[in-house]
Chains A and B, each alone.
Chain A
Amino acid sequence: QVNLLQSGAALVKPGASVKLSCKASGYTFTDYYIHWVKQSHGKSLEWIGYINPNSGYTNYNEKFKSKATLTVDKSTNTAYMELSRLTSEDSATYYCTRQLYLRRFDYWGQGVMVTVSS
């Protein structure tokens, strides 16, 4: 069965960076793009970008281009998102999700809450 297992909640200081992980299982990791989505508390969903695990090609929402860096480790079937220069605006739940045809998302990680606080 397909599963996307995300790393645990993170409490980080303003100005620091954090690297979130998303470990895929139950399917061929390199066959599907992985996307990342932000959900601020009680708010809607924002698309951050995606990575092609096979080629490493990335495509970012312009809004997150200087904030997020997407990578993968094919040997461990894990996708990563590093968020840099964190501020309180980055406090949110972040999801990884798998893309299907016509850019719909069929499986989602459980989400990881990032809290930026001194």
Chain B
Amino acid sequence: EIVLTQSPTTMAASPGEKVTLTCRASSSVSYMHWYQQRSGTSPKLWIYETSKLASGVPNRFSGSGSGTSYSLTINSMETEDAATYYCQQGSSYPLTFGSGTKLEIK
């Protein structure tokens, strides 16, 4: 099973600040997907195949990475970006998710 470790677990950012969330895989994966989940709602596909933005995702978001290290970056934090972000690997079964990064607004 591929274990995904996200860091930090929790962070707070000020409006306008640049934010980078990290996801590390225990074995190399070919790509990473990312989901945003706000409290009390279902996860939403946010970034897929490492760097492609899902429909409706603002272009201040970007994704990058390869092998065992992936990241999600917000160029300029906005209030609406406060949520928990999960990475997910689809390279091998069982499919796994990271433990999540809770992003708060300062």
Residues of chain A whose beta carbon lies under 8 Å from any beta carbon of chain B: 35, 37, 44-47, 59, 61-63, 95, 100, 102-106, 108-111
Contact = CB atoms under 8 A, between A and B. Distances in A.
Given A47-B96, A61-B94, A111 B45 contact: no
Given A44-B86, A45-B86, A104 B45 contact: yes
B48 A44 contact: no
Interface string B45-56: 100110000100
Given A47-B94, A62-B94, A105-B35, 8 more contacts: A35-B95, A37-B97, A44-B100, A45-B43, A47-B97, A100-B48, A102-B48, A103-B33
Given A44-B97, A45-B97, A47-B95, A103 B43 contact: no
B12 to A, nearest CB: 18
B42 A108 contact: yes
Nearest to A110: B42
B84 to A, nearest CB: 9
A111 B40 CA distance: 9
B31 interface: yes
A104 B97 CA distance: 11
Contact of A44 (B93, B94, B95, B98): B98
A27 to B, nearest CB: 15
Most A Cβ at <10 Å: residue of B44, B90, B100: B90
A59 B42 contact: no
A95 B98 contact: no
Contacts of B100: 44
Nearest to A45: B97
B69 interface: no
B43 A108 contact: yes
